[in-house]
Amino acid sequence: MVTFLPGRPGRLADVPSFTRAIGGAESNVACALAAAGHRAAWVGRVGHDGFGDHLVETLTAHGVDVTAVRRDPHRPTGVYFRTAGDRAEEGHEVVYYRAGSAASAMSPSTVPHRFTDRGRVLHLSGITAALSADCLALMRALTAPRPGRPLVSFDVNHRPGLWRDGSAPAVLRELARGADLVLVGADEAETLWGLGDPAALRAALPEPSVLVVKRGARDAVAYAREERPGPATGLLPPAGRDPRPDTVVTVPAPRVDVVAHVGAGDAFAAGFLSAGLRGLGLTARLRHGHLMAAAALTVPGDLAAPPRRERADRLAALDETAWGTLHLGPGWTGEDQEVRTP
């Protein structure tokens, strides 16, 4: 969808102008992965309108494959407006105009498996499930076990404004249990299921091979069963109940001078997936997630240029003491910037 970013802080009623950009969890992840040097494709539907043109052209400019994008001649491209600041802040406003949008018409019949099974990883978001009954049917089909299914990565991405019927806790837990990799914020897990504690959350979601619980500026905790080559990816064992104990890794987040909180969760997912696609270990995956999130946190919009791979690898390989002193501010991903430490 197209997002409109406020020209200044304040209530939507008081903001006189907005800057147009693209938004959407899946497209954010696709753009970040493409910028990190991976082949990434976005599957979706947009309207046959100017906003749809803008979305497709912007994704293409970011290096994302859009050959599976379909244009709907009868439904518009979705848009949303938001105020400045963090979603968790009191007074933050988000207004969605997505009912009846082209994306809301996605279904198992309009998104065939030949579009979704082309890659090593299929990344999904809980936002899609909230758009319509057809979208929920599509998400259930994509997370169901089936031959040839790629590794399914699922970011819970709970957006209360999209769930008016109270079904979010049950639906999002159902979808998470069908995924191979699940990413969730401790705050949204507490809101959804009353389970902000990572260990309790893992006990409630034993099926995914990897569960990552993000605790904001504090840290991220990953629970992963012993890794062995999977049938399609080599990244993770298949999802499902497994009696083996988890490996548990906690990586603190670096100190970041935040410009805007938007896009950080999607960037973390992209960093974690990027490191996994490269065969890096669990600690490195979490660190790369933190670094990609820090890139997003230090720019105004949803999308940020990630650090060059060599630089990110060097930072991710720091010893624990040096990692614990990282201090990242605006511009830190630029070639002429030095990473500050106390």
What is the tens place of the pLDDT at every residue in 295-312?
Answer: 999 987 777 888 999 999
Confidence bin at 203 (pLDDT 50/70/90):
very high
Mean pLDDT of 94-100: 88
Residues 238-277 as b or e (16 or more Cβ within 10 Å = b)? ebeeeeeebeebebbbbbbeeebbbbbbbbbbbbbbbbbb
**Residues with active-site annotation:** 266
Contact between residue 254 and residue 295 where contact means Cβ atoms under 8 Å apart: no
End-to-end Cα separation, the chain, in angstroms:
40
Question: How is residue 139 written in tokens?
Answer: 């998400």
Burial class (CB in 10 A: 0-12, 13-18, 19+), 52: buried
> With 60 as the cut, is the pLDDT of residue 229 above it?
no
Q: What residues contact 253, with CB distance under 8 A and at least 6 apart? A: 216, 217, 218, 219, 220, 290, 293, 294
pLDDT reported for residue 32: 95
Whole-model pTM: value is 0.91
> For residue 230, is pLDDT > 50?
no
pLDDT > 90 fraction of the chain, expressed in percent and rounded: 75
Residue of 193 and 164 predicted with greater confidence = 193
Q: How confident is the model at residue 23, as a pLDDT?
A: 85
- pLDDT given at position 236: 59
Q: What is the pLDDT of residue 338?
A: 42
| Average pLDDT score over the chain | 90
Task: Give me the pLDDT at residue 199, please.
Answer: 97
Residue whose tokens read 């935040």: 258
What single letter denotes the amino acid at residue 75?
Answer: R
> Confidence band (pLDDT; 50, 70, 90) for 211?
very high
29 vs 338, residue with greater confidence: 29
Mean pLDDT for 75-100 is 83
Q: What is the pLDDT of residue 342?
A: 36
pLDDT at residue 207 is higher than 70: yes
Given a cut of 80, whether residue 222 has pLDDT beyond it is: yes
Is the confidence at residue 149, as pLDDT, over 70? yes
Q: Where does residue 279 rank: exposed (0-12), middle (13-18), buried (19+ CB within 10 A)?
A: exposed
Alpha-carbon separation of residue 278 from 65, 272, 319 (angstroms): 20, 10, 20
**Pairing mode, if any, of strands 219-225 and 210-215?**
antiparallel
Confidence of residue 263 (pLDDT cuts 50, 70, 90): confident
The pLDDT of residue 239 is above 70: no
Tell me: pLDDT of 341 over 60. no
| % residues pLDDT > 70 (the chain) | 90
Strand partners, 247: 224
Over residues 234-255, mean pLDDT: 74
Distances in Å between the Cα of 321 and the Cα atoms of 172, 197, 252, 318 are 37, 26, 11, 8
